[in-house]
Structure 1
């Protein structure tokens, strides 16, 4: 299936205004995706630590204090402090509920009194003087306060939270605390129609311009600060980056087209003197590209972002999780960007400006005119200071006006390698955190932890051409979406914290101890895990010292370094009866490896109905002597260009030994009746027995015949096999089958003949029936007329009881009201009534009064 949306270049009245062509071609058939996770850990297999309080929901805000080993959790109307080493250990709690007055006022505005009109904690940020800065929706009246960590109590200052916290708990938002100043991206009004990027400070408060070119229905996902290097030759300032998805202004479409954005403001920005007063003078935004050119997939919605800041002097890297809302194709991708590439766009890229076409339509095109100096939107640097501009307050109005009219960059930020790091199918990613670990081979690997809307966590690795998902971890039951992720970087105490609507989960970075053998530990190819030959266990390299260099870690998957690679696997013996079935168990945890069965030095080919493969084994039917032997179950996985095979289990099948002779269960006799079987059937048929007696006798004979057939037969019979035992069983099976067929056929013939004999089958059996009954007097039926009693009740006869005793008996009347009591349904004639034509009575003259069935007795 192919979906294609094309934006063609247009010209308007000779103006050289070209709209950038955007082609979104979704070719699912040609797309290549990262394979499924190698291993899936379910809740019953691993020991995760859960935190949940009955009656409390929406655990969507997390803050970690690594110095105090405390995790702060913001939920609905409550703030918790738990141990970061064990989240089940609750240290403190404070409730922050709305008043009844605010709850009722919110309900009068059309909001839900039970859900929306409560206080959802949305901001928890560190603040000086051992306190936290917290904000909540507070029944659509956002409020901020200070939480004193000494006694874990709110100070009750109740500052106005507009611009710092959303009104609606369902609205998107983001915030970050930088040197005691809160940077936030949210909505500024009750309706959510005024988006804002705001800086709250006691000295100066700055915000974005309320205009479509600045922010057009954004959905904020992340904000963070990137510090300038200490010895920065350009004298640059610290920068705060915002990531969001907004409706495009530069592209026309038949519906709203969403575009992922990155925006930047300078920490030292103080606003303008006359132009852009109390507004950002350094606000610029650009488009984030996450496009796979190999299969023409474009991801236009950013779901979450994480900025990896290594402890060394290497450059920070931006990781983003993207999705596509075009045709709802169900794809997600992870793209990585260098911060230097972002800065090149803002510092050297072209701007876009609006132009009116046909006095009505506004088009955004590249600005090719002269750019004023200092460069609009740039932070204060050595070049600006050389021009006697020390801060934004003394910037020229020409520069400030240009920034106000041109906040959008024409150049886009492209990902590393011009393609996504990962492309995942049939999964919606929600959050991402990234850790960098140095493996035993000396290389550093970026490990991505990506959560989904199904309550799972994918652990993926991206290194050069090595793109794979190491494992999948089920964090929450009932397919709950992960709302927030947090990574602990403390040495020796590193965990992942995930929040959802029902609770918080603490999980380790790796499950090395789950791999019981060296082969499994190496094939996991997890940079966190290595095999310890002395302890004979798989250990975490960040928790185990490698001073002696005895740890074994081969991310290439080479298992030849394992000391137990040549050990024999476990085996199972199966002793079965001939003709029976057997199930051979063989299961593996890896989802990317294939199971291969080998039998007698060759690969076993599954042919139905003999073999039936299962997910956890193999079923073999009708076991014979040819099926005996050793079955090897192995797993094969392709690592690079090499196939690695691992023997999982061995099964041995043998046939149960049976006695060479079998005694009959009847009396010992070698004589058998020479009377043909059809003669016996005829005797049963002609005998005066009921059908039940015939069938009983037949089945008794059948039982006897079966017992007689248990006497062994020579091996040269037609159904014989190689050995005497198998020949005896096969001959018995064939004889029994033939006998059963003859038995049921004979019973069918008996039933047909019997029914013909009794006259139950018409037409074809009439001749046979007549032939059997020829010359025999017909016996009157012995059944009673079912209407006899009814007729006697309906018609009362006035005739003498013995009037027609010696005459032919006339059939009873049918009960119709037109029939006479003494007649047979016809009108009486003269001779019947004993009256001659001349009116004289006959010798047996009897006068009868006629009375009908419906007579009322008159």
Structure 2
């Protein structure tokens, strides 16, 4: 824990609010899907890395994928099919110049594609780091070919120099808004609009203080606005807090916004934003004493509703290793807009200790309101553009861009909290269930190459599944999905993956389908399968909020597997796990089994040691899972165990087939021990023959204590003989690790 001043601790108290009715923090995915079980389309080209920029061109049925020194046009329905590609490589001179400036020639001095945006004329605007000298160009797709137009533009302020540096950009009405660093050292961060009038932020720590940019989004706030307000561009980032007096640098999460029609000031703030305002964002997570840091956002809007009903979903991770909890919080756009439009400002106040303390500004606020867009009220006063704003308003916002009030999430708590893998990216899709109710499904990428599929059911955090998209594990650097194909696309350093939003086939029974509580899936009683709602015309069984599996019809009788084994042998009866939330229970002839020296009950099966005649019978493995309504039990494996007798003529299974495959059999262990004993006898006979070991009658001391000079037994050989003898006295298989799994 880093030491903080009392003022800083006091400031953080709201962040550490106790979530009285929060769900358990350690939210466990119901199912874990390994990489080899994922039906994914994959794309990777040898020698090319960093597949971290994507542009969906649904009008062309293409996924444009930006990587290191290459852009690919992939089939939107199957990204393993490449339609076209174009290389954008640095020259030897550019690479040498980059290397001479102290950068790694194989890591830094390449051209990493960082910006891909669609233009209004259907061309694409593309920018790359270009060996620490960023450049931009125009790209077109025609006749199955990708073409760079070679109209190189200066990329400084649009694209980062450093490929490892966080950045963000968005194209609005053919104008590029970008948040990155404008210099080689990365010490001059800016939020910039490139055209029609180039405009940017001030180089002041009160505006941007060592920021890490995350994402940007446009909001059409002029739509049906009675006040005649302007559209906004929102920027999400984290930075070192200027308002907290701390011994160590404290990072906080921010949201800033600017007006689309901002042209800068006439004298003050020339070619600078006059509408730049920022506020702190909180995502209070239990156990955390320091604010979590924003990593990615997703803007969700219902096209049939007003922009005020839009929401930002954001993922947060801990700072300074104070916790291992990642979280998802959601924010109403209307609440964010209200803070900027009506909230109080913070102002810097010098104190005796030479610190600058930030407190709430309580003086008179100039008119027009600092940071506000040009609206009807301003137009009535003769102010039709930002160039007409008075210097008093501009000087105020130049000195005080920070709002006093912080942005709180919906419900004042996270929608999802997960312990373990760090969240990296998020997208959200809305799905209508069988009863017509709408749900927001969150797809969250992690730094271990997995993707979580989760829903918050009226305050209950529920992770449907965790899917291993990339193997070996690589952080997911970008997530996109297409409503046209109902497919999700992910990118990492080593490749791209595509999977469907719905994966209903992973549920093999009605109970499994209902307990999965997946908005995309339901049980079809006609075909007796778990199917996607989008592909069925019939009424499907679902119970998303409660997981009421009693709605399911009676399951088909389970056909037992016949097993016959020898008395005295060991065996394992396998039991497949249907859910991480389920426990297992074993029964023999409808009587519950309890663990003992001969019966070991594991999550994946039952181990039976030293089988006797009384162990025959019908064994049944039950999966027991609790939902919000009840505890449900279903049979997942059943065996009829028969104890073989001499001359029975039956096929004998001392171990399950899987055990024989993965581990040594009892017969194999017997053979190994026999070979070791014979080898030891031969070795002893050879030593007797050579005279290295005297006859036993000449041994005068016990336990090998006689010296070598007296011809006594070598202690090492003696101990080896003792171990071999001990091994012969023990059972052939004495522990779990001696049998197959």
Q: Which has the larger radius of gyration?
A: 1
SS of residue paired to 1:554: coil
Alpha-carbon distance in 2 for matches of 1:19, 1:280:
33
1:583 aligns with 2:572: yes
2:557 corresponds in structure 1 to: 568
SS of residue paired to 2:35: coil
1:66 aligns with 2:65: no
Higher relative contact order (CA 8 A, sep 6+): 2
Residue 289 of structure 1, CA deviation: 0.2
2:11 corresponds in structure 1 to: 20
Alpha-carbon distance in 2 for matches of 1:756, 1:95:
82
Residue 595 of structure 1, CA deviation: 0.7
2:447 corresponds in structure 1 to: 453
1:387 to 367, 381, 388: 381
Alpha-carbon distance in 2 for matches of 1:96, 1:655:
70
Residue 380 of structure 1, CA deviation: 2.0
1:528 to 520, 523, 526: 520
Alpha-carbon distance in 2 for matches of 1:497, 1:318:
20
Residue 243 of structure 1, CA deviation: 0.6
1:421 corresponds in structure 2 to: 415
Deviations 1:447-505 (A, max 9, x none): 11111111111111113123111011111111111111112122xx1111111111111
2:230 corresponds in structure 1 to: 237
Alpha-carbon distance in 1 for matches of 2:478, 2:7:
42
Deviations 1:755-794 (A, max 9, x none): 999686599xxxxxxxxxxxxxxxxxxxxxxxxxxxxxxx
2:6 corresponds in structure 1 to: 8
2:339 corresponds in structure 1 to: 345
1:558 corresponds in structure 2 to: 548
Residue 638 of structure 1, CA deviation: 1.2
Residue 625 of structure 1, CA deviation: 4.3
1:357 corresponds in structure 2 to: 351
Alignment of 1:490-569 (within 5 A): 490=484, 493-542=485-534, 544-546=535-537, 549-555=538-544, 556-563=546-553, 565-569=554-558
TM-score where L is the length of structure 2: 0.83
1:603 corresponds in structure 2 to: 592
Contact 1:87 1:506 in 2 (8 A): yes
TM-score where L is the length of structure 1: 0.72
Residue 651 of structure 1, CA deviation: 2.1
For residues 31 and 443 of structure 1, do their structure 2 counterparts lie closer, same or farther at Cα, with a shift above 3 Å needed?
closer
Q: RMSD value over aligned CA atoms? A: 2.6
For residues 19 and 388 of structure 1, do their structure 2 counterparts lie closer, same or farther at Cα, with a shift above 3 Å needed?
farther
Alpha-carbon distance in 1 for matches of 2:136, 2:103:
21
1:168 to 121, 145, 162: 162
1:158 corresponds in structure 2 to: 152
1:268 corresponds in structure 2 to: 261
How many residue pairs get aligned? The number is 650
SS of residue paired to 1:372: coil
Contact 2:23 2:461 in 1 (8 A): no
Alpha-carbon distance in 1 for matches of 2:114, 2:54:
9
Contact 1:34 1:469 in 2 (8 A): no
For residues 159 and 593 of structure 1, do their structure 2 counterparts lie closer, same or farther at Cα, with a shift above 3 Å needed?
same
Deviations 1:783-818 (A, max 9, x none): xxxxxxxxxxxxxxxxxxxxxxxxxxxxxxxxxxxx
Alignment of 1:183-202 (within 5 A): 183-201=177-195
Alpha-carbon distance in 2 for matches of 1:56, 1:355:
52
Alpha-carbon distance in 2 for matches of 1:656, 1:312:
70
Residue 4 of structure 1, CA deviation: 8.1
SS of residue paired to 2:397: helix
1:116 corresponds in structure 2 to: 108
Alignment of 1:307-326 (within 5 A): 307-313=299-305, 315-326=309-320
For residues 759 and 454 of structure 1, do their structure 2 counterparts lie closer, same or farther at Cα, with a shift above 3 Å needed?
closer
Contact 2:4 2:248 in 1 (8 A): no
1:139 to 123, 131, 143: 131
For residues 72 and 659 of structure 1, do their structure 2 counterparts lie closer, same or farther at Cα, with a shift above 3 Å needed?
closer
Alpha-carbon distance in 2 for matches of 1:412, 1:335:
14
1:256 corresponds in structure 2 to: 249
1:177 to 159, 162, 171: 171
Contact 1:59 1:501 in 2 (8 A): yes
Contact 1:6 1:21 in 2 (8 A): no
Alignment of 1:277-356 (within 5 A): 277-292=270-285, 294-295=286-287, 298-313=290-305, 315-356=309-350
Residue 600 of structure 1, CA deviation: 4.2
For residues 418 and 24 of structure 1, do their structure 2 counterparts lie closer, same or farther at Cα, with a shift above 3 Å needed?
closer
Alpha-carbon distance in 1 for matches of 2:180, 2:191:
7
Alpha-carbon distance in 2 for matches of 1:653, 1:355:
82
For residues 495 and 298 of structure 1, do their structure 2 counterparts lie closer, same or farther at Cα, with a shift above 3 Å needed?
farther
Alpha-carbon distance in 2 for matches of 1:212, 1:594:
54
Alpha-carbon distance in 2 for matches of 1:253, 1:43:
44
Alpha-carbon distance in 2 for matches of 1:265, 1:466:
36
Residue 630 of structure 1, CA deviation: 2.4
For residues 532 and 157 of structure 1, do their structure 2 counterparts lie closer, same or farther at Cα, with a shift above 3 Å needed?
same
Contact 2:86 2:147 in 1 (8 A): yes
Alpha-carbon distance in 1 for matches of 2:411, 2:85:
47
SS of residue paired to 2:226: coil
2:209 corresponds in structure 1 to: 216
